[in-house]
Amino acid sequence: MAVHNEDIAAIFDELANLLELKGDNPFKVRAYRNAARTIRSQGTELAERVSRGEDLTELPGIGKEIAAKIIEIVATGKSHTLQKLRQEVPPSLEDLLQLPGLGPKRVKTLYETRGIKSLDELANTAKSGRLRELPGFGPKTEQRILEALAANRNKEQRFLFSIAGQYAEPLRHWLQALAEVKRVVIAGSYRRGKETVGDLDILAIAENAPPVMQQFTHYEEIAEVVSSGSTRATVILRNGLQVDLRVVSASSFGAALHYFTGSRAHSIEIRRRGQQLGLKINEYGVFKNERRVAGLTEESVFESVGLPFIEPELRENRGEIEAAREGRLPRLIELHDLRGDLHCHTQASDGQADIAAMANAARAAGLQYLAITDHSHHLRIANGLDEKRLAQQMEIIDAFNEQSTDITLLKGIEVDILEDGRLDLPDSILSRLDLVIGAVHDHFNLSEQKQTDRILKAMDHRYFTVLAHPTGRLLLARDPYPIDMVRVIEGARERGCYLELNAQPKRLDLNDIHCRMARDEGVKICIDSDSHSPDGFANLAFGIHQARRGWLEKEDILNTADINTLKKRLRATMA
């Protein structure tokens, strides 16, 4: 049975949650959480490393005990320790932890004082007004919980693009290896590079479909076969991800790929354009009366309605069809266009490797420069740097650059933007850096005006260079804080600073709409990995997907410049 990194990390998350709810050793809880974080940051599957007999204890935060548990999970798909814990602590308590504002301490209070162990029991208690009577709660907390419960009921199950990929790509390779299959493509929102995915739409070319469907429904990671016919099937994987497979003939593949890639709004507009030309467009082809005139390739579908090929990431009916008709389609950025990365962390704050290891990983990723931007000291949970420690780190970077011939390190900091808009470190140290990345890490509940004013005031600072993860969102976990992005983008243009597209797959912040708004205002964006480990530079690929959805070209991105041009631009910002 295949076991993916996300499967392993999820088990360690659950171990940490249940131990914390039980009131167990906080050091063990922290060790499990760190292990989950390390596992998710790996660019290769741990199952492959185990099969090769590699020493897992070489990974940051992975000791012998945790390594043994990983090996057990890879071998069996389960954890004996977790199964035992589930008998001691109701697993349904974990559902409560998913609600904003309910940490382990509050969940423990709910269970021990009221016996609440499910979302329904919590809802009943909150609706009756009895939740506010508990220590650590109150009327406002009770109301926030009711609102969170309502939002949770309406929430569609979705998966981060990065997580969906861990299951989608192995399945695609497995299907491609079947003797009857000529070609396989994952369509839908996954192909369009959306930041979250509700399900997977997979197309395969095969002239003899039934054997393919028979083999597909026996894929080892399937938990349930919802439906199965001669040319299409729907299944649910063990992780809850729905997969729809359709087998089509080669002559219809292009039309089917366009149809099932979507978006629905884009497809409707293309069909409407076809109708104006006397054409019928569907998943089987493009037809003039009853005669098929196109559909072998996607290019032929677009050509039939007088358009050039439109990249999948643009297909949201947000002006791409008009741009195609007028010859204004952007030449979208590619991963190889990036020359460097302007946001990463080392062991000096909350990263997992030292400066040399991060530089080596950046070099291996094909980058020519890397900014070291550890947290500032206000973010104590991340062991942020004060003025003295930052000065020491700058000396280390200078020494590295004296020896390095193929990669340049830039001196930077991810400095906290305080509630009043001041920066967390004094000018005396900020002035000595190559760049200053400002970030909001607290006071997310300020009003839109106060939050926006806070950020604009920070941008006014002489040494402010880049606004990190501008809306503060965590996909599927935390909504963006209230902020007027129109004012922020205009402020960046007026002040001559930059906006970050944070490529960490839980963030992907800026979103595609804001990327395009910034582009239209002439504000350059830097695509950064926010890497906390050597494997983290793989995040840049997720940022590229997001940038392409935002219509961004190479010229719109700050870190596509060579090192000399980049330094000139950074100096101009901080002058």
pLDDT classification of 94: cutoffs 50, 70, 90:
confident
Q: Check if 159-325 and 335-574 are the same fold.
A: no
- Return the pLDDT at 44: 83
What is the Cα–Cα distance from 377 to 375, expressed in whole angstroms?
Answer: 7
Neighbours of 140 (CB within 10 A): 10
Q: The pTM is what?
A: 0.87
Q: Is 528 exposed, middle or buried (0-12, 13-18, 19+ CB in 10 A)?
A: buried
Beta strand 435-439 with 466-467 is: parallel
Rounded mean pLDDT of 90-110? 79
Whole-angstrom CA distances from 278 to 305, 310, 365, 552 are 10, 22, 50, 34
Rounded mean pLDDT of 437-461? 96
Judged against a pLDDT cut of 80, whether residue 98 lies above it is answered with: no
- Return the pLDDT at 60: 82
- Return the pLDDT at 132: 85
Per-position DSSP letters for 385-417, written without gaps between them: B-HHHHHHHHHHHHHHHHH-SS-EEEEEEEEEB
Do 371 and 435 form a contact (C-beta atoms < 8 A)?
yes
pLDDT in tens, 251-305: 999 999 999 999 999 999 999 999 999 999 999 999 999 899 999 999 999 999 9
- Return the pLDDT at 122: 87
Q: Which CATH superfamily is domain 335-574 in?
A: Metal-dependent hydrolases (3.20.20.140)
- Return the pLDDT at 506: 95
Q: 3-class secondary structure for 473-519?
A: CECCCECCCCCCHHHHHHHHHHHCCEEEEECCCCCCECCHHHHHHHH
Which residue would you say has higher pLDDT here, 25 or 544? Answer: 544
Task: Tell which CATH classification among 3.60.20.10, 3.30.460.10, 3.40.1180.10, 3.20.110.10 matches the domain 159-325.
Answer: 3.30.460.10
Judged against a pLDDT cut of 90, whether residue 478 lies above it is answered with: no
Judged against a pLDDT cut of 80, whether residue 43 lies above it is answered with: no
Task: Kindly provide the b/e burial profile for residues 32-51, where b requires at least 16 CB atoms within 10 angstroms of the residue's own CB.
Answer: bbbbbbbbbbbeebbbebbe
| Per-chain mean pLDDT for the chain | 93
User: Phi and psi dihedrals of 472, rounded to 5?
Assistant: 70, 10
Rounded mean pLDDT of 445-457? 97
What is the Cα–Cα distance from 241 to 2, expressed in whole angstroms?
Answer: 15
Judged against a pLDDT cut of 80, whether residue 103 lies above it is answered with: no
- Return the pLDDT at 111: 85
* Alpha-carbon radius of gyration of the chain: 26
What is the Cα–Cα distance from 510 to 503, expressed in whole angstroms?
Answer: 9
Edge-to-edge strands, sheet with 340-341: 340-341, 369-372, 408-416, 435-439, 466-467, 498-502, 525-528
Do 251 and 285 form a contact (C-beta atoms < 8 A)?
yes
Cα torsion 310, 314, 315, 316: sign: negative
pLDDT in tens, 404-419: 999 999 999 999 999 9
Judged against a pLDDT cut of 70, whether residue 154 lies above it is answered with: no
Instruction: Identify the three-state secondary structure at position 84.
Output: helix
Domain boundaries, the chain: 5-89, 159-325, 335-574
Rounded mean pLDDT of 386-396? 97
Judged against a pLDDT cut of 70, whether residue 155 lies above it is answered with: no
Rounded mean pLDDT of 45-53? 92
- Return the pLDDT at 188: 96
Phi and psi based region of residue 327 (left: phi greater than 0; alpha: psi -120 to 50; beta: remaining): left
Judged against a pLDDT cut of 80, whether residue 110 lies above it is answered with: yes
Rounded mean pLDDT of 116-129? 86
The 8-class DSSP code of residue 156 comes to P
Do 489 and 523 form a contact (C-beta atoms < 8 A)?
yes
Q: What is the CATH number of domain 5-89?
A: 1.10.150.110
Instruction: Identify the three-state secondary structure at position 293.
Output: strand
What is the Cα–Cα distance from 274 to 510, expressed in whole angstroms?
Answer: 35
- Return the pLDDT at 522: 97
pLDDT classification of 556: cutoffs 50, 70, 90:
very high
Total count of residues recorded for the chain: 575
- Return the pLDDT at 1: 63
Reading the block at residue 232, the tokens are 């299409």
The 8-class DSSP code of residue 177 comes to T
Do 340 and 369 form a contact (C-beta atoms < 8 A)?
yes
- Return the pLDDT at 251: 94
Do 448 and 455 form a contact (C-beta atoms < 8 A)?
no
